[in-house]
Amino acid sequence: MADKELKTYVHKLYEVDYEKGVIKLKNKRCPRCGSIMAHHVKPVERWHCGKCGYTEFLTRK
């Protein structure tokens, strides 16, 4: 990967607060294996781990 591609990809995963000096992960971590989970909206809103297959379905009330 080129440096420009890597920099834009890293900014998709983390939020940076330059005033406080804090780096925070945007997505959730998997409770089973600890990997970063993906958020899917269609067809049903859910969080899914591609590594171990763990899925959390979101229900809107």
pLDDT tens column, 10-50:
777 888 888 999 999 999 999 999 999 999 999 999 999 99
The pLDDT confidence band at residue 1, using thresholds 50, 70 and 90, is low
- pLDDT of the residue at 32: 96
The encoded tokens of residue 24 equal 């925070």
- pLDDT of the residue at 58: 92
| Domain definitions of the chain by residue range | 3-57
Could you give phi then psi for residue 29, rounded to 5 degrees?
-100, 145
Q: What is the pTM of this model?
A: 0.68
CA–CA distance, 36 with 47 (Å, rounded to integer): 10
Q: To 5 degrees, how large is the angle CA 57–CA 24–CA 34?
A: 50
- pLDDT of the residue at 12: 79
CA–CA distance, 3 with 21 (Å, rounded to integer): 23
With DSSP H G I counted as helix, E B as strand and the rest as coil, what are the percentages for the chain, rounded to 5?
Answer: 20, 30, 50
